[in-house]
Amino acid sequence: MNTEKVTTRLQLRGYGATRYQAEAITKNLTAVANQGRAYAYPVSDVVASIRQYLQRPRIQPATRQILEAVLQALLERLGNVIEVPFGSSTNPEINKLARQLTQARSRTDSALAELKATAATLKAKYNM
């Protein structure tokens, strides 16, 4: 089962990107699926594309600000940052509970990011 997270140009517009920016970011990417009539691109590929786009020397400050906000929203969706407790206790019960807490927090953050993605899609779709 493929659980790779995807995004569309419409969703990128919902995050705040303009139509041109969404097209420029995804222009060289390969669509992995269709969501309705829209092409869906892997979030990790879109993140890499935005980072590459931000490396351009003549990018306008407003464009940079918009793309950094979109990048942050997409990174939240990936949720691949794991906090490592370096000062953890040697008590196995506390370690087990800390691991469960971290996993529950990760699932909650992931669900919230997916809800924000849905909200961004609806925002762009209905021009809100």
β-pair partners for 39: 34
Order of strands, sheet of 6-8, starting from the edge strand that comes earlier in the sequence: 6-8, 38-42, 33-35
pLDDT at position 1, please? 38
Q: Is the pLDDT of residue 98 over 60?
A: yes
Q: What is the DSSP letter of 85?
A: -
**Stretch 77-86: mean pLDDT, rounded?**
63
**H or E segment and range at residue 33:** strand 33-35
Is pTM beyond 0.85? Reply is no
Q: Is the pLDDT assigned to residue 86 strictly greater than 70? A: no
At a CB cut-off of 8 Å and minimum separation 6, what does 35 contact? 6, 8
Listed by start position, the domains of the chain span 6-125
